[in-house]
Structure 1
Amino acid sequence: MIRMPETPAVAHPRYDALLAEWCELLRRCQGDDPDAPDPAAYGRELLARWAEPQRRYHTLDHLVAVLARATELTVYAQDPDAVALAAWFHDVVYRPDRSENEERSAVLAERALTEAGVDAERVAQVARLVRLTVDHDPAEGDADGEVLCDADLAVLAGDPAAYAAYAAAVREEYAFVPDEDFRAGRADVLRRLLALPRLFRTQHGYERWESVARRNVGTELELLEA
């Protein structure tokens, strides 16, 4: 993996716990190879990337939230470790002025996980899952895709204050975009979400988050169009 400059990642209150969680996950996926690379080196770089200064929503807090939701939905996953790896990588490359973040994140996952000794089948699955977060529309029966996408979209079902904070953080990430252009672009994103037959594909996600998320997204859209 490309080495990153020092960032404020270590200041995050869950840094040590996240690093330990990553190391445990990658060790499981490396199998019994005694020559496998040290997971900690990869974990520190991932955490550094998630703490880059251009991020306002796609931060370490977002990573923590997606990992927690993926764990909450583990019962639905076919390969929970692949889902967890995809959660770590799904926004690891993030530049708000670029449109290929998911693809670049998937490519980095392929390169890093192969180098780290993860088997090719699982590496391919992780990269596929990362690419699904472009439109959050997994195919029917794609259990791992459903879990990752539900975990990523669970932020939409926050209480009013939490949702407002999320929307404000997204706007901050796009502070370089003029208000009129941002409103148009954001409204298009929200319309595409509302056009999905279901925002959440797992039974738990649908029952717990669907109605609240649709209300939140609809309200934001109304405000943008007012």
Structure 2
Amino acid sequence: MNRTQGRFVALWLRSGGSRAEAVYADLARRYGEPGRHYHTLRHVRRCLRDFDRARDAVAHGDLVELALWCHDVIYVPGAQDNEARSAQWLRRYADGRVSACERVCEAILATRHTRAPDELDARFVCDIDLASLGAPSRQFQDNGMRLRAERPDLDDHAYAMHERRILEALLARPRIYLTDYFHSHCEAAARANLARRLAQPMPRAGA
């Protein structure tokens, strides 16, 4: 059992779940699906590193961590229900045994990033999901290329328009990060990365 699997199994059992190794096997299989380049276990491990750094500020650590593990377990590029289906995946395996399952599911749903959740735990999940926006410039660019690779259905102009809408909406927020911890640690770098990306010329339609 590798370190990543061991961490999930321990959390799942600690949360009251059963069949931990089988649950992890399905989770790892889904995160390893062909066509995934950003939304993989690499993204989950990055989320866990950011969670570990913020751990002392998080009231309900196991709830937040379980949401991070599961928030992208179902990912169909361009689909509008990935988060809802990821929450349903968790409910199915939790089978009424996992503590605070519905609160975990609400935190997963919050990673749609359409509005600020009321619960602080869900705010931490959202911020950790977006913490890579504040990565060093080269890593930010690499993440952008990985995200682009997940949308082969869009040509370069259509993808650039799609990306621009998302990034402009993030920059228009009074705060990208909802918690004080991530606002202080990531906000300035994230805004600089987004501004640089938006300043790049758009590909021409049909080019």
Q: Assess same fold via TM > 0.5.
A: yes
Q: Which amino acid aligns with 1:59?
A: T
The corresponding residue for 1:158 is 135
CA contact (8 A) 2:57 2:181 kept: no
**1:128 aligned partner:** 106
Is structure 2 residue 98 aligned with structure 1 residue 118?
yes
String of CA shifts for 1:107-128, please: whole Å, max 9, x gaps.
111221226x213xx1100110
Q: Deviations over 1:58-100 (max 9, x none)?
A: 1111010011112222222221111111011100001113221
Does residue 181 in structure 1 map to residue 181 in structure 2? no
Identity %: 27
| Equivalent residue runs for 1:70-109 within 5 Å | 70-109=51-90
Match of 2:19 in 1: 38
Counterpart of 1:125 in structure 2: which amino acid?
A: R
- The residue type equivalent to 2:25 in the other structure is R
Relative distance call for 1:192 and 1:145 in structure 2 (3 A) is same
Moved more, 122-131 or 195-204: 195-204
Structure 1 runs, 4 residues or longer, greater than 4 Å off:
none
Q: Kindly indicate whether the alpha-carbon contact (under 8 Å) linking 1:95 and 1:101 is maintained by their aligned counterparts in 2.
A: yes
Q: In 1, distance between residues paired with 2:46 and 2:198?
A: 24
Normalising by structure 1, we get a TM-score of 0.84
Task: Check 1:45–1:222 CA distance in 2 against 1; reply closer, same or farther (3 A cut).
Answer: same
CA contact (8 A) 2:87 2:105 kept: yes
1:191-218, Cα deviation, whole Å (9 max, x unpaired): 1111222111222211111000001011
Q: Does 1:206 align with 2:183?
A: yes
Checking the alignment, whether the CA contact within 8 Å between 1:93 and 1:104 is kept in structure 2 is: yes
Question: In 2 relative to 1, CA 224–91 (structure 1 residues): closer, same or farther, beyond 3 Å?
Answer: farther
Q: Return the TM-score normalized by structure 2.
A: 0.92
CA contact (8 A) 1:76 1:144 kept: no
Name the amino acid aligned to 1:126. V
Query: Which 5+ residue runs of structure 2 have no aligned equivalent?
Result: none
Matched residue, 2:45? 64
Distance in 2 between the 1:107 and 1:224 partners? 40
Q: Is the 8 A contact 2:157 2:202 kept in 1?
A: no
> Deviation at 1:136?
6.1
Give the length in aligned residue pairs.
203
Q: Secondary structure at the match of 2:36?
A: coil
Work out the CA distance in 2 between the residues paired with 1:80 and 1:224: 42
Structure 1: how far apart are the matches of 2:68 and 2:76?
17
Hey, what's the Cα distance between the residues in 2 that align with 1:194 and 1:158?
16
For structure 1, the residue ranges without an aligned partner over 5 or more in a row are: 1-14, 31-35
The structural deviation recorded for 1:225 is 4.3
